[in-house]
Chains A and B, each alone.
Chain A
Amino acid sequence: MMRVNRRVFLRGAGTVAIGLPLAASIERYGLAQESVVPDRYLTLYFGNGVPKKFADQGYDGPLSPLAPHASKLAMLRDMVVPLNESPGDLHWMSTERYGVGLTPDTNTGAVGESLDNAIYGALDPARSTRLLNMTMHGRAEGNPASRVLHSWAKAKIPNASYTDPHNLFEAIFGAPTVREPDDSPEATRAARHHNSVLDSVLDQYRHITGERSGYSAGVRAQIADHLDLVRQLERRASSSAAGATSASGYCFQEPPEAPPEDLEPIQFCTASSCPTEMSVLFGDDDTANWNEVWPLMCELYATALRCGSTRFGTVGCTGSGDRYPIPELAQRGVTDSAHILAHEWTRGQENGFDLCVEWLVQKIALFLSHLDDPAWPDPNGGTVLDNTLMLIGTELGTATDGQHAVNSMTYWLAGAEGLLRPGTYDLSGRTDVDLYSSIARVMGAGTLFGDPADFNEHLDLFTI
Chain B
Amino acid sequence: MRAMRLSWMPRGLACLACLACLGVTAACGDDGDASAPDAGDAAQPAPDSDAGRASAEGSSQVEPELVNIQRKGDSSDLRRVSTGPAVGRRLSREEYFNSIESTLGVVLDRDAHDLPVDARSDHGFRNAAQDMLLTQEHIQAYFDIGHAVAQALDVAALVAAHAPCPEQLDACFEGFINSFGPYLLRGPVAPEERDGYMAVFDATIDSPDQWQDGVRLLVQAMLQSPRFVYRLEHQSAEGDGDTRQVSPYELATRLSFLIWNAAPDAELIELAAASGLDDAWDAQVERLLEHAFARRALEQYVEQWLHLNSIPSVFTLSQDMQDETYRLFDQLLWEQQADIMSVFTSQRVEISGALASFYGLDSDGDAVQVYDVSMFPYRSGFLSNAGVIVAHTINPSTSMIDRGLFMLHDVLCEEVAPPSGEALQEVIAEEMIPASSGLSQRERFAMQRDNPLCAGCHGTFDPLGEAFEIFDGVGRHVTEDEHGNPLTGHGHIQVGDLDTSFEDFQEFTEALQKSRTVERCMVEKSIQHAFGRALAEGDQDLIDEVHAVHEGGDRSYRGLLRAIANHASFRAVEVAE
Interface residues of A (CB under 8 A from B): 1, 84-89, 91-92, 105-109, 139, 141-146, 156-160, 189, 192-193, 196-201, 203-205, 207-208, 210, 212-219, 222-223, 225-226, 229-230, 232-233, 270-275, 277, 284, 321, 323, 339-340, 343-344, 346, 400-403, 405
- Cα distance A91–B11 in the bound complex, in angstroms: 12
Asked whether, in the complex, the Cβ of A207 is within 8 Å of the Cβ of B10, the reply is no
Given contacts A400-B426, A400-B429, 17 further A-B contacts (CB under 8 A): A84-B421, A89-B13, A106-B8, A142-B12, A145-B119, A160-B137, A196-B199, A196-B217, A197-B221, A212-B59, A213-B59, A218-B85, A219-B86, A223-B88, A223-B226, A223-B232, A402-B432
Q: When chains A and B are docked, how far (Å) is the Cα of A214 from the Cα of B576?
A: 9
Q: Is the CB of A85 within 8 A of B217?
A: no
The interface residues of chain B lying within 8 Å CB-to-CB of A87 are 4, 8, 34-36, 417-418, 420
A200 near B429 with CB under 8 A, answer no
| Cβ-based interface call for B482 (8 A) | no
Please give, as numbers and ranges, the residues of chain B lying within 8 Å of A223 by CB-CB distance: 88, 226, 230, 232
B5 to chain A, nearest CB (A): 9
**Measured between alpha carbons, how far is A200 from B112 in the docked complex, in Å?**
26
CA separation between A222 and B37, bound complex, in Å? Answer: 21
Residue of B nearest to A141 (CB): B12
Whether B10 lies near A321 (C-beta < 8 A) is yes
B146-175 contact mask (Cβ, 8 Å, vs A): 1 or 0: 100000000000000000000000000000
Rounded to whole angstroms, the CA-CA distance of A17 and B395 in the bound complex is 41
Given A107-B10, A145-B119, residue A197 in contact with residue B429 (CB < 8 A): no
Q: Is the CB of B19 within 8 A of A108?
A: no
Given A145-B119, A199-B199, A219-B235, A85 and B421 contact (CB-CB distance below 8 Å): yes
Whether the Cβ atoms of B16 and A340 lie closer than 8 Å is: yes
Q: Is the CB of B139 within 8 A of A229?
A: yes
Q: With A and B bound together, what is the CA distance between A86 and B132 in angstroms?
A: 23
Contact B236 A222 (CB under 8 A): no
Chain A residues with CB under 8 A of B500? none
Query: Known interface pairs A87-B36, A272-B113. Does A200 touch B20 (Cβ–Cβ under 8 Å)?
Result: no
Residues of B within 8 A of A197 (CB): 143, 146, 200, 217, 220-221, 224
**Please, which residue of chain B has its CB at the minimum distance from the CB of A197?**
B221
Q: In the complex the two chains form, is A91's CB within 8 Å of B119's CB?
A: no
6 contacts between A and B (CB under 8 A): A107-B122, A193-B213, A197-B221, A218-B86, A232-B139, A402-B16
> Does B116 sit at the interface, judged by CB under 8 A?
yes
**Across the interface, which residues of A come within 8 angstroms of B339, CB to CB?**
none
Chain A residue nearest to B62 (CB atoms) is: A214
Q: Write out the residue numbers on chain A whose beta carbons fall within 8 Å of the beta carbon of B22.
A: 402-403
B-side contacts of A272, CB under 8 Å: 93, 110-111, 113-117, 141
Is A107 in contact with B111, judged by CB distance below 8 angstroms?
A: no
Q: Are the C-beta atoms of B135 and A403 separated by less than 8 Å?
A: no
Closest A residue, CB atoms, query B33: A87
> Is B437 close to A, CB under 8 A?
no
Cβ contact within 8 Å between B143 and A271: no
B76 at the interface (CB under 8 A from A): no
Contact B88 A219 (CB under 8 A): yes
- Say whether B336 faces chain A, with CB atoms less than 8 Å apart: no
Of B10, B192, B234, the contact of A142 (CB 8 Å cutoff): B10
**Cross-chain contact A215 with B196 (CB below 8 angstroms):** no
Residues B235 and A270 in contact, CB atoms below 8 Å apart: no
Query: Does A214 lie within 8 Å of B424, measured CB to CB?
Result: no
Minimum CB distance partner of B197 in chain A: A200
Is B540's CB within 8 Å of the partner chain A? no
Expressed in whole angstroms, the minimum distance between the Cβ of A194 and any Cβ of chain B is: 9
Minimum CB–CB distance for B80 against chain A, Å: 21
Shortest beta-carbon distance from B484 to chain A in Å:
22
Complex Cα distance, B520 from A99, in Å, reads 42
State the main secondary structure of chain B at its contact with A.
loop
Min CB gap A2→B, angstroms: 10
- Would B199 and A214 count as touching, CB distance under 8 A? no
Which residues of A have CB within 8 Å of B146? 197
Give the nearest-CB partner of A346 in chain B: B429
A203 CA to B227 CA, complexed, in Å: 12
- B217 A208 Cβ-Cβ under 8 A: no
Q: Take A144-B119, A201-B225 as given contacts and tell me if A233 and B143 are in contact as well, using a CB distance cutoff of 8 Å.
A: yes
Bound state CA distance, A401 and B196, in angstroms? 61
Interface set, chain B 76-123, CB cutoff 8 A to A: 85-88, 90, 93, 110-117, 119-122
Q: Which residues in window 1-60 of B have CB below 8 A to A?
A: 4, 8-13, 16-17, 19-22, 34-37, 56, 58-60
Residue of A nearest to B435 (CB): A344
Indicate if the CB atoms of A229 and B4 lie closer than 8 Å: no
When the two chains form their complex, are residues A108 and B429 in contact, meaning their CB atoms are under 8 A apart? no
Using Cβ atoms and an 8 Å threshold, which residues of chain A touch B87?
218-219, 222
Q: Do B117 and A275 touch across chains, with their CB atoms under 8 A apart?
A: yes
3 shortest interchain CB distances as A-B pairs: A402-B20, A216-B576, A214-B56
A142 in contact with B11 given A193-B204, A212-B60, A216-B576 (CB within 8 Å): yes
Q: Is the CB of B112 within 8 A of A215?
A: no
B425 A277 Cβ-Cβ under 8 A: no
With A215-B235, A222-B87 as given contacts, are A158 and B204 in contact (CB-CB < 8 Å)?
A: no
Q: Which of A89, A193, A208, A215 contacts B8 (CB 8 A)?
A: A89
Indicate with 1 or 0, residue by residue over B186-202, a CB within 8 angstroms of chain A CB atoms: 00001011001101100
B residues less than 8 Å from A201 (CB atoms): 221, 224-225
| Residues of chain A within 8 A of B138, CB atoms compared | 229
Q: Enumerate chain B residues within 8 angstroms of A1, measured Cβ to Cβ.
A: 111-112
Per-position binary interface string of chain B over residues 57-80, scored 1 when its CB falls under 8 Å from any chain A CB and 0 otherwise: 011110100000000000000000
Q: Which chain A residue shows the least CB distance to B229? A: A226
Please state if A339 and B133 are interface contacts (CB–CB under 8 Å).
no
Assess whether A401 is in contact with B119, with CB atoms less than 8 Å apart: no
Determine the distance from Cα of A226 to Cα of B129 in the docked complex, in whole angstroms.
Answer: 14
Determine whether B140 belongs to the interface, using a CB cutoff of 8 Å to chain A.
Answer: yes
Chain B residues with CB under 8 A of A400 = 425-426, 428-429
How many angstroms between the C-alpha atoms of A271 and B221 in the bound complex?
Answer: 23
Q: Which of A108, A160, A215 contacts B131 (CB 8 A)?
A: A108
Chain A residues lying within 8 Å of B225, measured Cβ to Cβ, are 201, 204
Which residues from A are CB-within-8-Å of B221? 197, 200-201, 204
Tell whether, in the assembled complex, residue B119 and residue A143 are in contact, meaning their CB atoms are under 8 Å apart: yes
Q: Does B375 belong to the interface (CB within 8 Å)?
A: no
Given contacts A142-B11, A144-B119, contact A230 B139 (CB under 8 A): yes
Say if the beta carbon of B394 comes within 8 Å of chain A. Answer: yes
Per the bound structure, the CA–CA distance linking A108 and B90 in Å amounts to 15
Q: Does B335 contact A (CB under 8 A)?
A: no
Q: How distant is B70 from chain A, measured CB to nearest CB, in Å?
A: 23
Shortest Cβ distance from B135 into chain A, in angstroms? 6
Q: Does B274 contact A (CB under 8 A)?
A: no
**When chains A and B are docked, how far (Å) is the Cα of A160 from the Cα of B140?**
12
Task: Tell me the complex Cα distance, A208–B190, Å.
Answer: 11
Smallest distance from the beta carbon of B457 to chain A beta carbons, Å? Answer: 14
Query: Bound state CA distance, A193 and B134, in angstroms?
Result: 25
Distance A405 CA – B417 CA, assembled complex (angstroms): 18
| Residue in A89, A204, A233 whose CB lies within 8 Å of B196 | A204
Given A213-B59, A214-B63, A272-B115, answer yes or no on A108-B133 (Cβ-Cβ < 8 Å). yes
| Nearest Cβ on chain A to B533's Cβ, whole angstroms | 12
B367 to chain A, nearest CB (A): 28
Q: Bound state CA distance, A342 and B3, in angstroms?
A: 29
Nearest residue, chain B, Cβ from A160:
B136
A204 contacts which chain B residues (CB < 8 A)? Answer: 193, 196, 221, 224-227
Asked if A196 and B192 sit within 8 Å, CB to CB, the answer is no
